[in-house]
Structures are given as C-alpha cells and as structure tokens.
Amino acid sequence: MTYLCQLSELRHDSAIGLDPWCDGRDTLIALRYGDGVRVFRNNCPHYDVPMHYRKNGFMTADGQHLVCFAHGALFRPDSGECVLGPCLGQSLKALEVSIDDKGSVWLVG
C-alpha cells in the first residue's frame, strides 16, 4: 500500500493534490466525502490533462463539484462522474483507499 495523507488533512468542500510517487506534480486528487475519502487520478477524461491551474485548485467556489479548469467540466465528488461539460457522462478514475486506526490514508494495491 502507498501512504497518501492524514485523514485530518482532508475536507468536504475542498480537495488537495497529492504526489505519492514523487513525480514532481500532483497526480492524485483527494477529498472527504461523507464518512469516507475519495481519491481520483488527476487526469481529466476530456483530454487526459491535469485538472487544476493552481495548487489544490480542484473544486468550484461553492465546494459542490470538482472542476477541470481547462474547459470547465464539472464532476461529482462522490463518483467522479462528469455532470456538465465536454466529457459529460465520463468519469475520473477512482482509486481504492483504506484508513487505518491512526487516521492515515493509504492507497490500496
């Protein structure tokens, strides 16, 4: 398993970028959703490019959707499904995570 972050670092209304493999850029997006955590690859299904234009700039101002700043596609934060924009109906790639009893979030697999 790959360590990602602490649960306490994640919020419901904003997402953070993570670089767990030291690629020099945030390849994953993580946020709280309900009692759990959602982690997606930071690749828009429209053109397979990173979603953000600034550090941790992954969500709309109202905190309701993930957004790709290239062409404005909106994604559900629970499923990663695009609900508005040029990749409507496509989804961000979701990754499985687990949370241990110390509040550490791990990528499974």
Structure tokens given for 56: 């941790």
Point out which span in 1-9, 31-39, 44-52, 95-103 binds ligand FES (CB under 6 A): 44-52
40 vs 107, beta carbon nearer ligand FES: 40
**Cβ burial, residue 7 (10 Å; 0-12/13-18/19+):** middle
- Picking from 53, 59, 55, the residue whose alpha carbon sits closest to that of residue 92 is 59
32 vs 46, beta carbon nearer ligand FES: 46
Contact set with ligand FES (CB under 6 A): 44, 46-47, 49, 68, 70-71, 73, 85-86
